């Protein structure tokens, strides 16, 4: 039984009001794998990189137990490249450049070894490729979670609508939820989106936490108030990795357990933003994670007497 992760493995160049990075290793699936592998040692990755992607980064993931048989290396091509600039609030950003490179002609092939997939995390990627992975799996996984972004809503909405019909959980941020639904109110947006296919919807609101919607139910998880946010890149993917990693570990996909998974995802994301790229995720111990989850418990615990 395994957790299959699909998504970009890439180079990013990031500008924040406080600093600028050179080209650093990023990509949705990179963050997801680092995050999810804290909870399960059966992460199986599907992606594509160019010959420029550092082999050392692949070795580090392998050393963590992440299986890379589904990662194609196109030696003569360049890896996917994304560059973005964050606004002063560190919550919103502009994409400055997206170079598909290896992604332009990529056809994911699901290795036979991955057919035991029980949990499928479709990280941010071309929607047609996300769909192709679902279609290649002989048995439908127990849970399919999808992440996407405005870029794909603008360039591949038809395919995105097809994938939405096949997933259980959609993870997006607040501006993407508004764009996808055409609704300003997030409650109204959730209603519209839940009619597009997914049974569960998680709307991430950066430093303002995350909302989980299912049927008529809503749950809210805060984000940890941090004194310093260094680089928010990958926070959404790290959240996704913590969320599905925890569900894969506990094997319980009830609404109640998804509440815990959202707290775990938020805890992991709170580490990601503390340093540039994946640096902070690479340093984490189980004690660090447990301690941070405890801080979340204390942040929201209160008692009130009602007369």
CA dist 285 to 24, 138, 281, 295, Å?
Answer: 23, 36, 9, 16
Binder among 2, 3, 12, 172 for ligand AMP (CB under 6 A):
12
Q: How many CB atoms lie within 10 A of CB 142?
A: 15
Establish if 10 lies at the interface with ligand AMP (CB under 6 A).
yes
Task: Write down the least CB distance from residue 12 to ligand AMP, Å.
Answer: 5
Closer Cβ to ligand AMP, 198 or 241, answer by number: 241
Binder among 235, 248, 264, 267 for ligand AMP (CB under 6 A):
235
Binder among 6, 27, 47, 202 for ligand AMP (CB under 6 A):
27
CA distance 45 to 23: 22
Task: Write down the least CB distance from residue 123 to ligand AMP, Å.
Answer: 7
Question: Could you give the 3-state DSSP secondary structure of residue 146?
Answer: strand
Establish if 14 lies at the interface with ligand AMP (CB under 6 A).
no
Establish if 237 lies at the interface with ligand AMP (CB under 6 A).
yes
Task: Write down the least CB distance from residue 302 to ligand AMP, Å.
Answer: 30
Establish if 24 lies at the interface with ligand AMP (CB under 6 A).
no
Bridge partners of residue 49, in order along the sequence: 73
Strand order in the sheet with 169-173: 67-74, 43-50, 2-6, 117-122, 143-147, 169-173, 200-204, 210-214, 217-221
Closer Cβ to ligand AMP, 27 or 108, answer by number: 27
CA distance 26 to 6: 14
Establish if 219 lies at the interface with ligand AMP (CB under 6 A).
no
Establish if 125 lies at the interface with ligand AMP (CB under 6 A).
yes
CA distance 123 to 31: 10
Establish if 278 lies at the interface with ligand AMP (CB under 6 A).
no
| String marking each residue 75-114 x if it binds ligand AMP according to CB under 6 A | -------x---------------x----------------
CA distance 292 to 270: 9
Binder among 60, 137, 149, 293 for ligand AMP (CB under 6 A):
149
Concatenated DSSP letters of 114-144: GGGEEEEEE-SS-HHHHHHHHHH-SS--SEE
Residues in the site for ligand AMP, rule: CB under 6 A?
8, 10, 12, 26-28, 82, 98, 124-125, 149, 151, 233-237
């Amino acid at each position: 039984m395994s957790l299959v992760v699909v998504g970009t493995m890439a180079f990013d160049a990031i500008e924040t009001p406080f600093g600028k990075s050179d080209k650093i290793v990023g990509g949705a699936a990179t963050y997801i794998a680092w995050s999810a592998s804290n909870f399960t040692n059966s992460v199986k990755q599907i992606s594509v990189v160019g010959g420029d992607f550092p082999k050392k980064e692949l070795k580090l993931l392998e050393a963590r137990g992440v299986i890379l048989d589904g990662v194609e290396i196109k030696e003569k091509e360049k890896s996917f490249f994304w560059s973005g600039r964050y606004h002063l609030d560190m919550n919103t950003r502009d994409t400055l450049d997206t170079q598909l490179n290896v992604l332009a002609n990529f056809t994911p092939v699901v290795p036979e070894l991955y057919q035991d997939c029980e949990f499928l995390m479709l990280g941010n990627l071309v929607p047609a490729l996300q769909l192709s992975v679902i279609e290649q799996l002989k048995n439908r996984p127990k849970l399919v979670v999808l992440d996407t972004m405005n870029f794909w809503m603008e360039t591949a909405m038809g395919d995105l609508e097809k994938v939405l019909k096949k997933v259980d959980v959609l993870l997006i941020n607040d501006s993407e939820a508004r764009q996808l639904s055409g609704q300003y109110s997030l409650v109204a947006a959730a209603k519209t989106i839940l009619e597009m296919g997914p049974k569960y919807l998680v709307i991430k609101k950066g430093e303002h936490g995350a909302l989980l919607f299912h049927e008529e139910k809503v749950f809210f998880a805060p984000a940890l108030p941090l004194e310093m946010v260094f680089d928010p890149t990958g926070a959404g993917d790290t959240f996704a990795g913590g969320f599905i990693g925890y569900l894969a570990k506990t094997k319980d996909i009830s609404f109640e357990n998804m509440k815990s998974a959202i707290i775990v995802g938020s805890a992991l994301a709170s580490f990601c933003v503390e340093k540039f790229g994946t640096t902070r995720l690479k340093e984490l111990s189980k004690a660090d994670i447990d301690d941070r989850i405890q801080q979340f418990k204390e942040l929201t615990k209160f008692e009130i007497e009602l007369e």
